[in-house]
Amino acid sequence: MRKTLSVAICVIVSLVLAALATRYVHPHWILATLHSLQLHLAVGCVAAILVALVLHRDFLVYAVLMASLLIAGHTIYMSRDFVVTMTQADAGAPSFRLLSFNILSNNFDNRDAITKAILASGADVVTIMEALPLLDRLTELSSIYPYRIGCGIMIDDCDQLMLSKTPLENPVVRTLSDIFDNRFILAQVRLAGQTINVGGIHTTKPYFDSFHTLELMRAALTLNDRQGPLVLSGDFNASSLAPNMRSFLRWTDLRTAPYEPATWPIRARQFGVPIDHVYVRAPLKIKSLTQLPKPLGSNHYGLLAEISITGASPGRP
């Protein structure tokens, strides 16, 4: 009985590892969700095989254990590929704050709490996804954020929204696919004497055929038309481990924080998956990236980023 159970575990783990390994041959959108969950699944495979090893020791079990450790190790290695870290020389660089939050389109009961959280965040720029609950709170928000794109300005509906304390210049709004309209905003702001490109994005789910990759490609083309410092935030519905997300980061020269907090599902808290991101392009670096303490009725946690402008003089206003 113990041997049979051990073999069964090995078979299941082998199937999971085979699905994960497709990324190294030909990643397919059908398995995109598994690729985003690769770290969780790889760690789970290692744990399961250790149980199988306790039940019955056999060459097959050791072989699957080695395969699990290789996948898990490479996943950790991949997670560092696009990380950019602060150095001692960056300590005096000026910085700004950005808040990014998918508040959930039917989350009307918590609109007051969300509005208060935005106003209290100290963020210079705010990107909101599924912003409809804030439609009748825009006047209140304008007391701190008088400049916006979305909810009647350049975008008729109230879905993708960008708020700013300073003017939003050279704005661009894009529809990235036929699934949803106007879910990409790109503009420029002046912060610490520097012109900063700021973008907000909400991609469709990766298991909707190849639309997710198409949206990333179209977003990359627009981003690459803009020179200079860039920060892009939003709900990508995929982790930075996904093959098409890694391609997107390569195409755009965007970089991640040393640690990306989990944002979904909210019940998993810090053990969830980081599918909401803040990415930066040099000379910007992410000084800190934290999960908002409460989801405020959303099915995602928001993110608050402190971003250093390492190419700017600390003496500039």
Taking Cα atoms as reference points, which of 242, 260, 248, 253 lies closest to residue 303? 260
Most confidently modeled range among 52-61, 83-92, 118-127 = 118-127
pLDDT of 312 reads 57
CATH number for the domain formed by residue range(s) 88-309: 3.60.10.10
- pLDDT per residue as tens digits for the range 156-196: 999 999 999 999 999 999 999 999 999 999 999 999 889 99
Between the two ends of the chain, the Cα-to-Cα distance in Å is 72
Please say if the pLDDT value at position 317 is more than 50.
no
pLDDT of 313 reads 46
Please say if the pLDDT value at position 311 is more than 50.
yes
pLDDT of 215 reads 97
The fraction of the chain above a pLDDT of 70, given in percent, is 98
Higher pLDDT: 311 or 85? It is: 85
- Opening angle at CA 142, ends 137 and 143, nearest 5: 110
Q: Which residue has the tokens 């609109």?
A: 111
The fraction of the chain above a pLDDT of 90, given in percent, is 82
Return the sign of the alpha-carbon dihedral for residues 40, 42, 43, 46. Answer: positive
Taking Cα atoms as reference points, which of 197, 265, 272, 262 lies closest to residue 232? 197
Mean residue pLDDT of the chain comes to 93
pTM assigned to the model: 0.92
